Amino acid sequence: MQVSTDTEATPGLPLPAADSTGDELFRMGLLYSTGQGGAPLDYVSAHMLFNLAAMRGSVEAMLYRREISREMDQDEVAEAQRAARRWMGEG
C-alpha cells in the first residue's frame, strides 16, 4: 500500500494513495481502530478510512464503520466524514 506524506487533511495521519483499493483502505483503518502496527489509536482516522474503503466496495468496512461510530460522538463522526471528503477531493 502506498501512503502519501501529505497530512493536511488529518494532522498526523499519513494519507493513502489515491489509487488505494478498498481492501488497502480497510486494512489501514484496522490499524488505526486498534492502535496496532505503529499507528496511534485514532477512531476519527479509522472511521475516515473505513468510509473510504466502503465507497471502494469493502463490505467489511461498512460493518466496522458502523461499529466504531458507536464509540464516537457526533462531532468526531462529522470530522471523519469531512476528512474523507477532503481526501476524495484531492485524489
Instruction: Give 18-46 as a DSSP string.
Output: TT--HHHHHHHHHHHHHT-TT----HHHH
- Give 61-82 pLDDT, tens digit per residue: 999 999 999 999 999 999 999 9
CA distance 79 to 10: 9
pLDDT at residue 10 in the model: 46
Measured between alpha carbons, how far is 63 from 84 in angstroms, rounded to an integer?
17
pLDDT in tens, 7-37: 334 455 566 888 999 999 999 999 999 999 8
Kindly report the pTM of this predicted structure.
0.83
C-alpha cell at 21: 483499493
